[in-house]
Chains A and B, each alone.
Chain A
Amino acid sequence: MKKPASNGQTLFNLISYTFLTLLSIVCLAPFIMLISGSFTDEEAIAYYGYSLWPQKFSIAAYRMLFRFPRDIIRSYGVSVFVTVSGTLLGLFIISMTAYVIGRKDVKYRNKISFYFYFVTLFNGGLVATYIAMVRYYNLKNSYIALILPLLMNAFYLIVMRSFLSSLPVSLAESAKMDGAGNFAIYSKIILPLSKPALATVGLFIALDYWNDWYNAMLFISTPEKYPLQYVLYSMLSTAEALSRISAQSRIPIQGQPRESIKLAMACIATGPIILLYPFVQKFFIRGITIGAVKG
């Protein structure tokens, strides 16, 4: 069915295409500079800075990084493992909890919400957290120390609750009448219906796990268990700290990472998680096309 577009529609299209195109350029350009920089000769970066196309092409940074490919590949493995298991578990717990605190017939739902929200306001700080994790739970150098701290997130919980609350109430009511238990309603009806919400929150959780270097810094002490982002982070932070330390300690220190390697590391770390994005996108697109076809 072809409808002649109205004037308003044309104007709207014009504005939105222009706006989104401009925004895309602004977002894409630095990313291209990042990739180009990672393929640029070190001295060329020092002289010309970043550019959209390598001033002087070089793969030295990648060659340097992959000189010991085992370390990189191993840290990839750690990151993938932690991200996948953490995301699945976290998504399950968060969506289940969100469902409970979103149900109007749960009397203490607000108190439970507050219980979760309170920890975003107050936290015990580094020392107490560290002592709890290392001394009480004995989680030093364990993968669990990478998964547990990010498992619950009040922000996602509340966003999830607001998503779930927009589902038609009638669904749950009718299922209840059919004699389904609360857990069955959650798993058989609510979950399949809230794919965009699950995809969104799942994406956020996955990104958190993938980008997390902090917990690795605190709790992981053997390099074999370092996730990728921590390997990257420690290279960056070391360069930064060294310039500070050398002024205080006056110790001559060598062996610092270089500019192009820094960028190459960023490319390597970003690559795989970007692939996740189109996969998540599917859930958004599908919803919309169904609506459009029907319309």
Chain B
Amino acid sequence: MRWHCKKSGFLHEIKKNRVLYLMAVPGMLVTFLMSYIPMSGIILAFKNYRYDMGIFGSPWAANFGFDNFRFFFISGSGFRVSVNTILYNLLNTAVSQVLSITVALLLCEMKKKWFKRVSQSVIFLPYFISWTIVGAFVYNMFDSRKGWFNHMLTALGGEPVDMYLIPWVWVIVICFFNAWKWVGYGSVIYIAAIMGIDVECYEAANLDGASVTQKIRYITLPGIKNTIVIILLLNLGRILRGDFQMFYQIIGNNGQLFRMTDVIDTFVFRSLINSADLSMTAAAAFYQSFFCFIIIVTVNSLIKRFEPDYALF
């Protein structure tokens, strides 16, 4: 087995596992070139960018460099859209992950092979429908004139409802379509995780006459717990980022719905559409990054203390 060595210096470690470290180099190099080199752009958030002076030559923004952030907070909207973004992310993650895990569990217990294959493929289909087209579908559904939702309501004897005037409906619509689009994708991860569970466990359980629910509860769920935690953590690291395309295509420019449907990304897009200011865009992105960073580093260090195996880094 492993033997412990008193020398634990950096060089020694590198030397000991040189092949392993070497194997990580290609990935690190790509990341360095694609992500770390351009990271100088972050500084734009604190500058008044002038093309002819370059990123570093441009003058600093007013208010100790923080002037570019002001538009975000000026009217109190920044706080509102941040809360919205967080709540949507929590809701969407909860709904779509529960659904994905359920689908994965059910699919893996299916006995009819053709049913399993067909339904698994079909559930993946929404992933391919772009938000632009989803937006068109939603409009088709709820449009006050020709939308079939109102046709159905009137056919059932109800009164037509103008969905575009009722903000809370759109929380459900967005949550539904988000889950709908990602359930196939998410379940694939969990199916792969279930496939990784040692088959011997199931064999032993079968011999003991365990029921389906018992097998799920005592073997499958603990077996994919690691994956679940990782996925949740990865989602947590994006908690201040909204899926711009989803919100923009479904809600569009409908100001009356913004109170409940506006997220950071749509808010920034809308605010800057007439000025296309690169520094302010960078400022908004930095705001999102910074708070995601704080949150994930805090949570990760807590996890590291109690359950080191589940930590992201």
Contacts and interface: CB of A to CB of B under 8 A. Distances in A.
A and B touch in the complex (CB under 8 A): yes
Given A16-B106, A20-B103, A124 B289 contact: no
Interface string B33-65: 111111111101000010000010000000000
Given A163-B193, A284-B192, A123 B184 contact: no
B213 A12 contact: yes
Range, interface on chain A: 35 or more
B24 interface: yes
Interface in B280-313: 281-282, 285-286, 289, 292-293, 296, 309, 311-313
Among the interface residues A48, A204, A281, which one has the most CB atoms of the partner chain B within 10 A?
A281
Contacts of A105: 2, 17
Nearest to B55: A128
A16 B196 contact: no
A152 B29 CA distance: 10
B28 A112 contact: yes
Contact of A295 (B134, B143, B203): B203
Interface string B68-94: 000000000000000000000000000
B278 interface: yes
A181 interface: yes
User: B-side binding surface: helix, strand, loop or mixed?
Assistant: helix
A254 B263 CA distance: 33
A288 B108 contact: yes
A97 interface: yes
B125 A207 contact: no
B282 to A, nearest CB: 5
Contacts of A13: 111
B141 to A, nearest CB: 9
A155 B227 CA distance: 12
A27 interface: yes
Contact of B212 (A8, A107, A149, A166): A8
B120 interface: yes
Contacts of B126: 27, 30-31
A196 interface: yes
A5 B128 CA distance: 38
A129 B39 CA distance: 8
Contact of A47 (B2, B146, B184, B227): B146
Contacts of A263: 133
A96 B26 CA distance: 9
A27 B23 contact: no
Contacts of B27: 93-94, 96-97, 116, 152, 157
A182 B37 contact: no
Nearest to B199: A291
Nearest to B123: A27
Contacts of B243: none
A103 B188 CA distance: 25
B313 A8 contact: no
B129 to A, nearest CB: 6
A152 B106 contact: no
A135 B238 CA distance: 30
B211 A8 contact: yes
Contacts of A126: 41, 278, 281
Contacts of A108: 13, 21
B257 to A, nearest CB: 19
Nearest to B311: A110
Contacts of A125: 38, 41-42, 44, 278, 281-282, 285
Contacts of A20: 103, 106-107, 110, 115, 119, 123
A175 interface: no
Contacts of A53: none
Nearest to A115: B28
Interface in B114-148: 115-130, 132-134, 136-137, 140, 143, 146-148
A281 B191 CA distance: 10
Contact of A113 (B13, B133, B312): B312
Interface string A258-281: 010011001000100110011001
Contacts of B195: 196, 283-284, 287-288
Given A12-B109, A194-B196, A196-B196, A295 B206 contact: yes
A270 B196 CA distance: 30
Contacts of B226: 162, 165-166
Contacts of B213: 8, 12
B242 interface: no
Contact of A19 (B106, B111, B115, B185): B106
Interface in A67-99: 93-94, 96-97, 99
Contact of B20 (A6, A106, A152): A106
12 contacts: A6-B211, A27-B183, A49-B143, A125-B44, A126-B41, A159-B234, A162-B227, A194-B196, A196-B196, A236-B132, A281-B117, A291-B203
What are the 3 closest A-B residue pairs judged by CB atoms, nearest first?
A: A128-B41, A124-B41, A124-B38
